[in-house]
């Protein structure tokens, strides 16, 4: 199997951490030169028509894109440790928090990066600074929400590390990269961030 990625981006990192947590090593990583626009080439769009990374190529020649879809594939073929839930309730709660983190933090930080900063430079085809600033506010609000949730639990979706934590860690590192730090008052979020960042998989 192969995964086409650009290692500096947060979404490919989410998959790498997911695989590291499961100790899956039989995957070959192929770097896509996104800054030069390789992801928009016809050759790459044959793998993923929306020109995004990461993309998983299966041994049968099929392609799967989207971070959660790729993670779901590996969860099914290599269930343990369960990162997307074991019981119906765990699966639902992890999915709930994964979506909240993805929409409230990962997507908002991404919108801020692409619209209110230089972003990817010449690769940016449209920018709306006001929209970027609005998403900055939404990202901060999500950090505060997570801080409240983490008052009485160890991880984002409960007492077990999950894909929700992986998404939150990658989103938070992305946020810090674009100068959206964890507010000093968010002590629960800071505790979670330090503990999650110290996991060996975080270096994947």
Per-residue pLDDT, 109: 99
Fold designation for 2-77: Glutaredoxin (3.40.30)
Handedness of CA 134, 117, 70, 181 (dihedral sign): negative
| pLDDT recorded at residue 78 | 98
**What phi and psi, each to the nearest 5 degrees, are found at residue 10?**
-70, -35
Residue with tokens 């080439």: 41
pLDDT tens-digit series, residues 5-43: 999 999 999 999 999 999 999 999 999 999 999 999 999
Is the Cβ–Cβ distance between 201 and 17 less than 8 Å? Answer: yes
* Distance separating the N- and C-terminal Cα atoms of the chain: 18
Q: Does an H or E element contain 44, and which?
A: helix 42-45
Torsion of the alpha carbons at 200, 101, 26 and 45, rounded to the nearest 10: -140
Q: How far apart, in whole angstroms, are the C-alpha atoms of residue 33 and residue 152?
A: 42
Contact of 32 with 38, CB cutoff 8 Å: yes
Confidence bin at 84 (pLDDT 50/70/90): very high
Q: What's the order of all strands across the beta sheet hosting 55-57?
A: 28-31, 2-5, 55-57, 63-65
Tell me the backbone φ, ψ of residue 19, rounded to 5 degrees. -65, -40
In the chain, what percentage of residues exceed pLDDT 90?
A: 99
Q: What is the pLDDT of residues 138-187, one digit of tens each?
A: 999 999 999 999 999 999 999 999 999 999 999 999 999 999 999 999 99
Tell me the pairing of strands 2-5 and 28-31: parallel
Determine the pLDDT at residue 177: 98
Start-end of CATH 1.20.1050.10 domains in the chain: 88-203
For the segment 75-83, the average pLDDT, to the nearest whole number, is: 98
The boundaries of every CATH 3.40.30.10 domain in the chain are 2-77
Backbone region of residue 61 per phi and psi (left: phi > 0; alpha: psi in -120 to 50; beta: other values): left
88-203: which CATH topology? Glutathione S-transferase Yfyf (Class Pi); Chain A, domain 2 (1.20.1050)
Cβ pair 139, 112 in contact under 8 A: yes
């Amino acid at each position: 199997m192969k995964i086409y990625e650009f290692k500096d981006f947060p979404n490919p990192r989410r998959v790498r951490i997911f695989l590291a947590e499961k100790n899956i090593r039989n995957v070959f990583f192929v770097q896509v030169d996104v800054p030069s626009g390789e992801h928009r080439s016809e050759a790459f769009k044959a793998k993923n028509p929306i020109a995004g990374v990461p993309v998983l190529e299966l041994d049968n020649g099929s392609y799967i894109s989207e971070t959660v879809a790729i993670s779901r594939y590996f969860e099914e073929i290599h269930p343990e440790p369960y990162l997307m839930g074991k019981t119906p309730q765990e699966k639902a709660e992890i999915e709930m928090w994964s979506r909240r983190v993805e929409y409230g933090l990962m997507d908002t930080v991404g919108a801020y990066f692409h619209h209110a900063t230089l972003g990817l430079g010449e690769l940016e085809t449209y920018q709306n600074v006001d929209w970027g600033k609005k998403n900055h506010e939404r990202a901060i609000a999500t950090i505060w929400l997570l801080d409240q949730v983490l008052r009485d639990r160890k991880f984002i979706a409960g007492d077990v590390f999950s894909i929700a934590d992986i998404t939150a860690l990658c989103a938070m590192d992305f946020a810090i990269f674009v100068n959206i730090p964890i507010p000093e008052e968010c002590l629960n979020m800071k505790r979670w961030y330090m503990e999650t960042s110290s996991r060996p998989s975080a270096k994947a």
